[in-house]
Amino acid sequence: MRKKPALSRECLEALSVWIRMKCPCAAEDPEFFPGLWVIVEDEAARAVAASRQAVLALQNKPRPN
C-alpha cells in the first residue's frame, strides 16, 4: 500500500507564517498565492530529493549472497 503524502514540519511552519503575515486580506494581496506556491514547490523539491536518496540507499545496500 502506498504511503499517503504528508507535508513536512518545515513546510507547515512556512505556510503558517506566510498566512499569518498576509491575512486577513490575503486574497487581495497579489503576492499571497505566488508566495504559497513557492513554499509548496520547495516542499516538493525536498520530498523528491528525499525519495531519490532513499532509492539510492536501497540500491547501495549490500545484498546477501
What's the confidence (pLDDT) of residue 10?
A: 84
What's the confidence (pLDDT) of residue 43?
A: 85
Q: How far apart are CA 65 and CA 50, in angstroms?
A: 29
User: Which cell numbers in the block locate residue 51?
Assistant: 525519495
User: Which cell numbers in the block locate residue 62?
Assistant: 549490500
CB 29 within 8 A of CB 22: yes
The vertex-15 CA angle with 11 and 20, nearest 5°, equals 150
Torsion angles phi and psi, residue 39, rounded to 5: -60, -45
What's the confidence (pLDDT) of residue 65?
A: 67
More confident residue, 1 or 61: 61
